[in-house]
Structures are given as structure tokens and as C-alpha cells.
Structure 1
Amino acid sequence: MRSVRTRLGELDCVVVDAIPEGASPELAVVLCHGFGAPPTDLVPLAPELVELKPELGPKVRFVFPAAPLKQAMMGQSVPAWFNLPPEVLMGQERDWDQFAASTPEGLAQARRGVMSLLSALSTATKLPYGRIVLGGFSQGAMVTTDVALRLEEAPAGLCILSGTLICQDEWKQRAERRTSMPVLQSHGRYDDILAFHAAERLHSLLTNAGLPVEFLPFNGPHTIMPDVLERMAEFLHNRLEKR
């Protein structure tokens, strides 16, 4: 698969595909990395997903944007989509009700960056938002959930990999206008960073609003399991085939 570094909108990105020369993508997939991870952290998922579902290869363009901010953590400056409280970073958060109700500092800037990327991607590929899947891991899943609920046109789908609930009241209101958007959500029961029960609350919020959500809990920590990748490949294939 080809890999190219470029800038789309306000964000630096790695773009990966195996689309034949002269052909255009039929679907785009934008995946945002988690807090503290290098911008290329999720790039290996592209060939893994294509290996699991080869039909994706000649038709899907994968885009992996880099978070626009830096946040101090343990004496280092690490990539971040928005600022997280120290207790979350250290796995010591206990008041998940308060966290779910909060709007994190810097989220608006991250949202603007992802929206500018989507606008540039749509223009470059001539794909409407309804042919673009959004998703991400952990903090990247939070920002893409926020964006997916705000776009004027619903994206083709949303992949929430070990994400959690923030902006609760606003997300609830906006989710009620996204009832046709399919969602794939996964979370580890032993996640020591973002609590499993908080992910269950996000699942309930989305399903109660009427969204079709496939929830994949697994016996593991804050990670992406092979079974989840297999289901994600199927999810993307279904989005590719749906017109």
C-alpha cells in the first residue's frame, strides 16, 4: 500500500491506499490516534484491515491525521487532541459523571481541525461526507464522535475504539438527529484508563437516541483487539457496499 504525508485542512496527515493509478476512492476512512501516541500510531491498521477484507484495497483511502496540540505529561510534551485532567492520564479518575458532563479544554480547536480536514478530503476526492467513515482510538474516538454528531451531513459511519462519553447533554441532543448513522463501538472490560462503565453509558446514550450501534465489549485493557479489527473490516466493507 502507498503511504503519503500531506496536509489536509489544518492537520498534517498520513494517507494510505492501494487504489489503482487513475482511479478514485469510493470510500474514505479517517482514523484519529489516541492521547500521547505518535501521529502514525494507527497507520498499520490500514494494511491489516485490507488483509482481513481485500475488497477494501482498491476502493478505500485511509487518512490518519496528527493531533494539533501538545500536553505536558511526566515531564514530556506529547500529542493531544485536547487537554485531559491528570487523574485521567494516570488512570485515577473516579468521578466519571463529572467527566461525562464536561467539555474538555481544547476540544473546539480539535473539532475545527478535523472538520477542516474533512472539507479538504471531500473536495480532493469528490466524496460527500456520506462516503467518509470517522473513527479513532481513545481520545481520537472522543473527538471524532463529537465531530460526527455535529456535521451538517452524517458521515458514512463512526468507529469508537475505546472511547468514552463527554459533552453529555449536547451529544444526547445531537445524537437524536443522527439516527441513520451506523456505529461500531468497542471497549475493554478491564480498561484502567477509560472506565468500561463509562463506555456503557455512551452506548446507552447513542442507542436511546435511536442510533444503530454494534457494541463489542472484550476481556482486555485499553487496546484494540484482533476480534475488533475483524469486525471493523466487516463494518467498513458494509459501508463501502451501501449506496
Structure 2
Amino acid sequence: MGNRTARRIATRLGELDCNVVDALAEGTTPDLAVVLCHGFGAPATDLVPLAPELMSLDARLAERVRFIFPGAPLTLAEWGMPAGRAWFHLPEEIMRGQLRDWDLFAREVPPGLPAARRAVMSVVEAVSTTMKLPYGRIVLGGFSQGGMVTTDVALRLEEAPAGLCILSGTLTSEAEWRQKAQARKGLPVFQAHGRDDTVLPFSAAERLRDVLTESGLSVDFLPFHGPHTIDSEELERLAAFLAARLGGR
């Protein structure tokens, strides 16, 4: 990252409280904004440490990219996780570890997803306005449930984003996603998933990959040997994917 130091500020963008991290020269407008949404049950700041890690992997990300980490709107205090946040609530059977019907989950639209989508869309609109960036210079992504919400948003924005990063995500809302994906042919997608994931099964990730690929999106799929986590090779590939979105600028 050279001698650049990453700065972090907490601010509200759209409907959500966000952490914004960059190492840009003072007064510089970013060439690319990257919005990354954390997973279910994590604190709002869970993914914030990824920004300096990614910047250290590719200097261009330190020089030209601003990272935005929204905090999910719902609290999980009632489940004994006072710092835990959620984009949408899961059925009680899943929370208690009793239900794992991923085929049904893939087909249905989770209650609460439309509200989460609106919240994330409000962040994307605020990023576009305040940073003077068209949607085509904004990458969306997230881990686990954050990946589900940002996939839903990326397929529905009025214009295509610069790219989509799905880190240990899964398929849901299949009929809607297939239909919306028709307008996203060629969208660059980076998707990674652990083969030993016991939270969101690898087979469901493959099914999501196939839905996107069959719809004409350009999916770079990285399987890794590991659980429901972010792998070191995955971070390297993510840094390269983000740097590639800078294009020749």
C-alpha cells in the first residue's frame, strides 16, 4: 500500500449506517466504489478489516477505490446476539438448526428480502450521488446473507453495476433471479465457496453459479477447501477481480 494509510469513517448512506474506508489522496474522487455487506449474525463492522487487506494485495485498490461496509438493519438481540445484525430474519427452524431444506429456500423469496433490498439500494444510490459515480463504477458484494442481498440488488438496479462478488452465498428467489438476470448478460461475477461449508452447502452454491451462467453472466467460480469462511486465496482472487474492474482508467 506504499505509504498510504487507510482511513475509516462512520457515516449514514441512504437508510443504513456504514463504515467507509479508503487510502485516497485528500480530495480525490474514487474511480470505483465497492459495497460489501456482512453475513447474518455478524457485527456491522465484520468485513471492515478486508479493505486494508485488499489494498495491500494490489496497490491500485489503495490508490483508486473506496470501500463501503453497510450495517444490516435488523438486530438479533432476541437470539442472544446483541451485536449481531441481519439483513432479513430466518425461519425459527433454521435458527434452531432443525430445518435445512435448501431446495425450498432456493425457490422461495425470503420474507424480509424486499425490505433489505430497498435498504441496500438506498446505499447504492447515496454512494452514486455523493461520490459522483455511475452504477457502472460500483461493485456490489457480500458474505453469506450479505451475498444474497447484493445478488438480489445487482440483478434489479436500473443499470448494471461494475461487478458482483458472492462470498459463500447461496441461491434464493430462483424464478425472480433467473428472470432479472436476463438483463445482466456479461456482468462480471466473482463467486467463492468452501467445499466443507456446513452453513450454506457447496451444492447450493454450484446451483447459484449455474443459474447465473445459464443467464449469460460471466462467473469466475472459486471452490476452496474450507468451511463457511473467507479463504486467503479467495482474498487474492477478489483483489484481482476488483482491480480488473478499474479497467484501463
Which residue of structure 2 aligns with residue 108 of structure 1?
Answer: 114
Aligned equivalents of 1:242, 1:167: Cα separation in 2: 35
Question: 1:1-243 residue pairs with structure 2 within 5 A?
Answer: 1-71=6-76, 74-77=79-82, 78-241=84-247
Tell me the CA shift for residue 73 of structure 1.
Answer: 6.0
Contact 1:90 1:193 in 2 (8 A): no
Partner secondary structure for residue 126 of structure 1: coil
Distance in 2 between the 1:182 and 1:91 partners?
Answer: 34
State the shift of 1:169 in Å. Answer: 0.2
On the 8 A contact 2:41/2:81 being kept in 1, the answer is no
Is the Cα contact below 8 Å between 2:187 and 2:217 reproduced in 1? yes
1:90: Cα distance to partner?
4.9
CA distance in 2, matches of 1:122, 1:75: 36
**Alignment-mate amino acid for residue 23 of structure 2:** A
Distance 1:18 1:174, change over 3 A: same
Partner letter of residue 192 of structure 1? T
Distance 1:163 1:88 in 2: 16
Which deviates more from structure 2 when the two are superposed, residues 64-73 or residues 108-117?
64-73
Identity, % of aligned positions:
65
Residue 96 of structure 1 deviates from its aligned partner by: 1.2
Are 2:36 and 2:141, in contact at CA under 8 Å, matched by a contact in 1? Answer: yes
Structure 1 distance, partners of 2:152, 2:194, is 21
Post-superposition CA distance 1:128-183 (Å, at most 9, x none): 00000000000000000000000010000000000000100000111111012100
What TM-score results when the alignment is normalised by the length of structure 2?
Answer: 0.94
Tell me the distance in 2 between the aligned counterparts of 1:24 and 1:30: 16
Structure 2 unaligned blocks of 5 or more: 1-5
Q: State the 1:71 CA deviation.
A: 3.5
**Contact kept in structure 1, 2:192 and 2:223, CA below 8 Å:** yes
Q: Is the 8 A contact 1:14 1:40 kept in 2?
A: yes
Provide the C-alpha distance between the structure 2 equivalents of 1:92 and 1:217, rounded to a whole number of angstroms: 27
Aligned length: 243
Change (3 A) 1:234 1:214: same
Q: Which amino acid aligns with 1:112?
A: R
TM-score normalised by L of structure 1: 0.96
Aligned-pair Cα RMSD in Å: 1.4
Q: 1:138·1:162 contact (CA, 8 Å) conserved in 2?
A: yes
For 2:32, the aligned partner's letter is L
The alpha carbon displacement at 1:5 in A equals: 0.3
Q: Point out 4+ residue stretches in structure 1 off by more than 6 angstroms.
A: none
SS at match of 2:246: helix
Cα separation, 2, equivalents of 1:47 and 1:75: 31
State the secondary structure of the residue aligned to 1:113.
Answer: helix
